[in-house]
Structure 1
Amino acid sequence: MDPLSLRPAAPAQVVLALGANVGKVVPTLRTAVRALSSLEGLTVTAVAPLARTTAVTIPGTEPQPDYLNTVLLATTTMTPRELHEVCQDLEAAAGRVRTAPWGPRTLDIDLISFEGVTSDDPALTLPHPRAAERAFVLVPWSTADPFAELDGRSVAALAEAAPDRGGLRWLALDWLDSDRLPALPTGQYVVPPTDDQV
């Protein structure tokens, strides 16, 4: 049996990472969180702080604007494939165009882990093969759940050792309900929403 097509016998814990760096980023992330929160078969239990991070790019490629990233903790009765398809549909609805690996994104939703499921399927590898070294996933996640583990390792400890840890610019705790995001640091910036964009 394909483990990605098996429905869990009881609601399974899942972790989703959301990020974007082009377009109306904050409204797009808020829309995605609302869509996932209202999805039948998925119960969101926590929304992590919003993290602004420098873009992780392929060496030699053009620099990109900073990303805004967050993590959702949830339980689901969906199969991993069903949840993955929902995420891809939300990306498409946000105008995601896959032109180059690690390119700019209007919305990226990755299924990081799915309780009880491991998979080497190229279309959906579980746990996510690079999550353990990505501060833009690990820092928000460990803030939402300080005791979280990824593949048997402490997410908080992984966050401290992540190669891109120095690219974390700020965390915004109440980003879903407030536009009072932290002050601008130096570097490229993703413009926060105006009233007519929310």
Structure 2
Amino acid sequence: MLVALGCSLPGSYPSREALLDAAVEALAGEGLSVATRSSWWTSAAWPDRTAPAYLNGVVLVETALSADEVLAALHRIEARFGRVRAEPNAPRTLDLDLIAHGRTVLDGAVVVPHPRAHERLFVMGPLAQIAADWRHPVSGKTAADLAATATVGTDAKSVV
């Protein structure tokens, strides 16, 4: 299973990196065991490029939870980290997205794979770092191929 993490505001943490590191640690408390994670990537805010820049990454997670249980767990973690859902694309303390749940394809209350992740370099770039050969459950394209053709967040780069 793949989860993307992102933030543009550090909240009560000393930095965005510290916040994302804490969010990765919080996953285990929800039954989501992190097998590996990418480096953090930075990119300008979108669509308002004057807003604070984002820091993003991807984790490969092992879990026995269903896709809807995972999504509920991610929303609980976001809430604990002060996530407020005011308006789309607004600066935020934490954004956790379920990118894929194995080869599962769902198009209902829970949508997997994530409907826009394949377009985003700030998701596909980090994913290609940890699983370049991962294949999108619908298109069959690899993470590396999707990173090379991403059209959103094309300024994203690893901050290692």
TM-score relative to the length of structure 1: 0.73
Letter in 2 for 1:163: T
Aligned residue pair count: 154
Shift of 1:19: 0.2
Taking the TM superposition and a 5 Å limit, the aligned residue runs for 1:1-198 are 14-23=1-10, 24=13, 25-40=16-31, 42-57=32-47, 61=48, 63-121=50-108, 123-151=109-137, 152-164=140-152, 166-172=154-160
- Cα distance between partner residues in 2 of 1:107 and 1:165: 18
Per-residue deviation, residues 126-155 of structure 1 (Å, max 9, x unmatched): 110001100000000100112111121111
- Cα distance between partner residues in 1 of 2:19 and 2:104: 29
Identical columns (%):
33
Residues 53 and 170 in structure 1, CA contact (< 8 A), matched pair in contact too: no
Which structure would you say has the larger Rg?
1
After TM superposition, what 4+ stretches of structure 1 lie above 2 angstroms from structure 2? 37-40
Query: RMSD of the TM alignment (CA)?
Result: 1.6
Per-residue deviation, residues 63-101 of structure 1 (Å, max 9, x unmatched): 311100010101210111111111001111111111101
Unaligned residue ranges in structure 2 (runs of 5+) = none
CA distance 1:95–1:78, change in 2 (3 Å): same
- Cα distance between partner residues in 2 of 1:165 and 1:102: 13
- Cα distance between partner residues in 2 of 1:76 and 1:155: 21
- Cα distance between partner residues in 1 of 2:29 and 2:83: 21
Q: Secondary structure at the match of 2:87?
A: coil
CA distance 1:116–1:170, change in 2 (3 Å): closer
